[in-house]
Structures are given as structure tokens and as C-alpha cells.
Chain A
């Protein structure tokens, strides 16, 4: 059983819909991440949260809105997406905030397969 869970596993939405992706980590970690995985492209880091505070936003369009209410939960709110946003969205967590410990390893959830029609 993975320490990082994501729901839903699959999501189909229209461009005018509003939906949210949820991630929960059961590992007692302090940092959480959102990645986008598109076909034949390297994973793209979208957002980083350390101790519930957003520390990274890698030029992600505003139609993606993250929320981290506590160190165990991370959401990605979606609205007015485009078909090119269709991808696998992966959540990850790590014990220490990025940059503080070089040995830190990220643990990934199973992902949400998003299709935008």
C-alpha cells in the first residue's frame, strides 16, 4: 500500500468545468509536489509546498491552482483547462523541504489521468 494516494485515478472534463485533484500522504513528510507527465516528455515540476507554504511555481498557467491546507494534503484545482492539459498528474512527497537535505527522496502517488475534451 503506497504512502501517497491520489484521487480520482481518472478524470474526464470539459474545458468549462471546474474540478479538483486530491493528494494525501501518510508518511509524515513535510514537503509535497505536483508534477505533470505528458506523453514522451520528461516530468515537469509544477508546484512545491514546504511546511504548507508554496515555494515553487514553475511558470504554471493560472488555470491550475494549488492548495495545501496541511502538510498531509495537497489539492490541484482545475478550471477552464485546455486539451493540451491532458496528462498524468503526479503528486509526490518528501521528508525534508527541497534543498535542505540532499539525501531527500521523493515518494510518488499513482497519479490522476486527466483528459480535457
Chain B
């Protein structure tokens, strides 16, 4: 079965600094998608970024980028120039053609002014 592990229950970052959230996953499949979702205190789960496993190039969305290491089954999220509005729970998720969406337990990010 596929599993997604987020080893950091909580992280904090100073405003304007950079922070990296870790995610590892376990799968025997070669074709899949990886996602990072953000859930702010308002509870609305929002897609931050996604990565296709067949692409070697790391996905980037403005201040958010990923470091995708397929061989290591690692998918970390880097947030640059952190803002107060980035404070939220961040969930890493995995999905393949043959399996349901699988989420990690989440990392709570605090941004200090």
C-alpha cells in the first residue's frame, strides 16, 4: 500500500526567510502525481503545487518550489520569502492511476513576524 510520511509535525520560520517541509512516500509504481496542499486556519484546503513523477524538472509556483527526488522517493516543499499568510497546515499527497489519493499527516507551519 502507498504511504506518505511527513516527519515534521511542526515547523516555524521567520517572515521573509525560507523554509523547507519534508515529505517521503512509498510506492512500487512508476507513474504518479505528488501534491502539496495548504490548509489555513479557515480550513479551506488549497492546492499549492503538484509534480508529475515522469518529469525531472522540479515544479515551481511563484514562491513555492519542490525538490523531487524520485529515486529517494522524496518530495519536499520550499517556501521562499515566507509571509504571514503562509501559516497553515501543509499536507503532502500522492496519487496514481491505480490508487486513491493518499495524504500525509501534515506539518503545521508557523510564520513569525
Partner-B contacts on A (CB < 8 A): 2, 33, 40-43, 45, 48, 56, 58, 88, 90, 92, 98-99, 102-103, 105-111, 113
In the complex, the answer to whether B100 meets A98 with C-beta atoms within 8 Å is yes
B70-113 residues at the A interface, CB under 8 angstroms: 91, 95-98, 100-106
Secondary structure class of chain B's binding surface, majority of residues: strand
Q: A102-B32, A110-B44 are in contact. Are A42 and B106 (CB under 8 A)?
A: yes
B4 interface residue, CB < 8 Å from A? yes
**Smallest beta-carbon distance A3→chain B, Å:** 11
| Nearest 6 interchain pairs by C-beta | A108-B45, A43-B103, A42-B103, A111-B43, A110-B44, A42-B105
B16 interface residue, CB < 8 Å from A? no
In the complex, the answer to whether A110 meets B31 with C-beta atoms within 8 Å is no
Contacts of A102 in B (CB 8 A): 31-33, 52, 95-97
In the complex, the answer to whether A99 meets B47 with C-beta atoms within 8 Å is no
- Residue from A40, A58, A108, A110 in contact with B105 in the complex, judged by beta carbons closer than 8 Å: A40
